[in-house]
């Protein structure tokens, strides 16, 4: 089922353009204007919930409520620490602290944030990501979005193509164009293209139209 959803988003993106959005955490310390973002055309936001197996973003609940009240489709993300605990343990912590998914039409599947130093071998990193992804899927019926940049993915996973058919790509590339996605993904689902969104956080764009975004939310 997931594969057919991803393919549908590809065609939607080619045919109908893009939908603005953004992502946030309390670290950015900007006062977020969810209503202003919605009025300007943004239709989704991804909000930091957890990190490792001990850290919970203190602003997650208020951010999530603000996004919901503004009418935004919203989701949560988990910042991975591949060397501190298993992928399964971190997925469970994420799920217990805001990272779940429900078929309510306004909740995106959770996002796994992969960046920073390479702390495992490429094969071990791929196994860790698979552990997280499978645990999340077993609980929700959805595979998590994978956020990464080309350099991290190519270096830290050996440019693995193991997740192409299951996990939508959130591509971090601060440039005038998204370029070629890493890891054999034929396209990105969401592109993070700068870290200075007018209403707070990082600027994103969904590769499709509004109906495609809603389809990603509903499953």
Query: Catalytic amino acids?
Result: 23, 115
Q: How far apart are CA 149 and CA 59, in angstroms?
A: 25
SS3 14: helix
169-172 and 202-206 strand pairing: unpaired
Given a contact cutoff of 8 angstroms between Cβ atoms, the answer to whether 6 and 168 are in contact is: yes
The answer to whether residues 20 and 185 touch, using CB atoms and an 8 Å cutoff, is no
> 117, exposed or middle or buried, with CB in 10 Å at 0-12, 13-18, 19+?
exposed
Backbone phi, psi, residue 126, to 5° = -60, -40
Q: Give the bridge partners for 24, in sequence order.
A: 47
Q: What does the alpha-carbon distance between residue 41 and residue 44 come to, in Å, rounded to a whole number?
A: 10
Pair type for strands 202-206 and 19-24: antiparallel
Query: Taken in order 115, 106, 205, 48, is the CA torsion positive or negative?
Result: negative
């Amino acid at each position: 089922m997931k594969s057919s959803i991803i393919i549908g988003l590809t065609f939607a993106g080619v045919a109908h353009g893009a939908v603005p959005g953004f992502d946030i955490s309390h670290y950015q310390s900007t006062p977020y204007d969810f209503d202003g973002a919605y009025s300007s055309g943004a239709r989704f936001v991804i909000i930091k919930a957890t990190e490792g197996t001990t850290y919970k973003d203190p602003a997650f609940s208020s951010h999530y409520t603000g996004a919901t009240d503004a009418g935004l489709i919203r989701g949560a993300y988990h910042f991975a620490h591949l060397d501190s605990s298993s992928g399964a343990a971190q997925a469970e912590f994420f799920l217990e602290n805001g990272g779940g998914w429900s078929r309510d039409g306004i909740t995106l599947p959770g996002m796994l944030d992969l960046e920073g130093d390479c702390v495992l071998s490429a094969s071990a990193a791929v196994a860790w990501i698979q552990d997280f992804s499978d645990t999340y899927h077993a609980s929700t019926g959805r595979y998590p979005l994978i956020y990464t940049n080309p350099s991290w993915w190519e270096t830290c996973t050996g440019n693995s193509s193991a997740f192409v058919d299951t996990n939508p790509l959130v591509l971090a590339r601060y440039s005038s164009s998204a370029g070629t996605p890493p890891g054999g993904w034929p396209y990105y689902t969401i592109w993070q293209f700068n870290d200075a969104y007018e209403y707070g956080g990082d600027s994103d764009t969904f590769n499709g139209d509004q109906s495609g975004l809603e389809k990603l939310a509903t499953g």
